[in-house]
């Protein structure tokens, strides 16, 4: 049977690992795909020293468009990242009738709707398992393994850098800035770490997971996004005393009013499995109506785990190259004419519980004022800690956990509490998720 020929765009660490695995595991891959798979051309841009020996038969080119325009290439592997020139290259590959495998979550989250429409019209596949949670096959699990289920919610630790920082803060009592500097030195975070610590990377991934789970268009701009730079060592310690862990969580949930899509620091009960996912590891918890909860855990980044997902996609495409386009697995799990535009809820309409931390004057009557405001906004207090001040200090720290309420109620209460003369500085808020299916 004719071999499947690949064109590779972007030969950095992931591209080099992909080439190496394709070479070293060629026989096993051919057994699974039903035909041999080989890279015949690669873009010369950023060629890595990690390319396997014996790669001299791979034609190298200065211009990546040579790859997407090569008539002998069946599948284009896009590992450049970012928006440009990746979008132009992918759209040109589709126009040329080529299938595309990509690990580019930003590209899919922002431009996936137009990419998938073009692919549908040309009868080609665009697959992207490596775009979310590295080597964890979460897209395949939701899109295929859970296809008999009504997905109720998806919650995930889907950025390893943020998880590493919060783990170090909890285990070693270090502050955010120090751990971030170490994460950069270890290569977990970029010189500009904003995509990781501000939640943008996780929001890209959550946008994709939401579309696959609920059959809605990709809507990155609708994801509420909050980073972890405001989480203090104090918050981590107080959360632990209350029986919680702080994780940077992506949450997508179906409600009667619409879909929640949000990324933010979250308190999770320490007994939950996902609360014990530490370091740079990723995990995604899916609640489905028939299966119930299922947890997917593994390496969310790195050359080999990402290459594992890339090659799994290549094998899937190789298996379906001769399949009629109408009988392939849909890009976003649902048939294109069944994608529905369910409203995305603004963060003010989300219902969740809250952790609050505030500095107040250490004198009688202060708590009465605060609890009065909470009561006026119909907010019930679940638990409270008061840290007595040291000798000579006139302010105390108060920690509160509330029951589940609408975010607008919490906004109104915080506004009133922060306006009290007896409250000093910001009222710090972190959302709480029990993740028990309620």
Helix, strand, coil share (%) of the chain residues, nearest 5: 40, 25, 35
Interatomic CA distance for residues 153 and 46, integer angstroms:
40
Question: Phi-psi region for residue 57, left (φ > 0), alpha (ψ -120 to 50) or beta?
Answer: alpha
**CB-based contact 226:263 (threshold 8 Å):** yes
Interatomic CA distance for residues 98 and 84, integer angstroms:
19
Instruction: Compute φ and ψ for 119, nearest 5 degrees.
Output: -65, -40
Identify whether 374 is preceded by a cis peptide bond (ω within 30 of 0). no
Interatomic CA distance for residues 42 and 40, integer angstroms:
7
Q: Which of 140, 205, 290, 387 is catalytic?
A: 205
Measured CA to CA in angstroms, residue 15 lies from 81, 184, 255 at distances of 11, 22, 40
The question of whether 205 is a catalytic residue gets the answer yes
Question: Phi-psi region for residue 98, left (φ > 0), alpha (ψ -120 to 50) or beta?
Answer: beta
Q: What are the residue numbers of the active site?
A: 205
């Amino acid at each position: 049977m004719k071999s499947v020929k690949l064109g590779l765009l972007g030969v950095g660490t992931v591209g080099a690992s992909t080439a190496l695995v394709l070479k070293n595991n060629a026989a096993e891959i051919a057994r699974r795909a039903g035909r041999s798979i080989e890279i015949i051309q690669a873009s010369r841009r950023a060629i890595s020293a990690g390319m396997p020996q014996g790669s001299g038969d791979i034609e190298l080119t200065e211009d990546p468009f040579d790859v997407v325009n090569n008539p002998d290439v069946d599948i284009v592997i896009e590992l450049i990242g970012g928006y440009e020139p990746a979008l132009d290259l992918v759209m040109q590959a589709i126009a040329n009738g080529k299938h595309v495998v990509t690990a580019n979550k930003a590209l899919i989250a922002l431009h996936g709707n137009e990419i998938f429409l073009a692919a549908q019209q040309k009868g080609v596949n665009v697959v992207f398992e490596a775009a979310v949670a590295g080597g964890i096959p979460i897209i395949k699990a939701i899109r295929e393994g859970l296809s008999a289920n009504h997905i109720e919610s998806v919650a995930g630790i889907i950025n390893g850098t943020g998880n590493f920082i919060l783990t170090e803060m909890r285990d070693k009592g270090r502050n955010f800035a120090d751990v971030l500097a170490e994460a950069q030195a270890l290569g977990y975070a970029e010189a500009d770490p904003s995509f990781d610590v501000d939640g943008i990377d996780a929001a890209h991934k959550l946008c994709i997971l939401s579309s696959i789970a609920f059959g809605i268009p990709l809507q990155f701009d609708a994801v509420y996004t909050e980073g972890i730079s405001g989480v203090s060592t104090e918050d981590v310690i107080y959360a632990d005393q209350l029986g919680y862990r702080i994780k940077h969580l992506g949450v997508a949930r179906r409600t009667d009013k619409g879909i929640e899509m949000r990324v933010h620091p979250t308190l999770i009960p320490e007994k939950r499995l996902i609360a014990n996912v530490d370091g740079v590891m990723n995990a995604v918890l899916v609640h489905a109506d028939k299966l119930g909860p299922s947890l997917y855990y593994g390496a969310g980044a790195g050359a080999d785990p990402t290459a594992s997902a890339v090659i799994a996609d290549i094998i899937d495409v190789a298996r379906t190259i001769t399949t009629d386009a109408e009988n392939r697995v849909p890009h976003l799990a649902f048939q294109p004419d069944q994608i529905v535009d369910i409203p995305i809820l603004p963060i003010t309409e989300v219902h969740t519980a809250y952790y609050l931390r505030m500095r107040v004057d250490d004198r009688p009557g202060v708590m009465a004022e605060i609890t009065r405001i909470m009561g006026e906004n119909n907010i019930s207090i679940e638990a409270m800690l008061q840290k007595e001040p040291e000798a000579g200090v006139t302010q105390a720290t108060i920690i509160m956990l509330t029951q589940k309420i609408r975010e607008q109620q919490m906004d109104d209460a915080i506004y009133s509490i922060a306006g009290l003369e007896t409250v000093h500085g910001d009222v710090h808020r972190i959302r709480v998720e029990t993740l028990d299916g309620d």
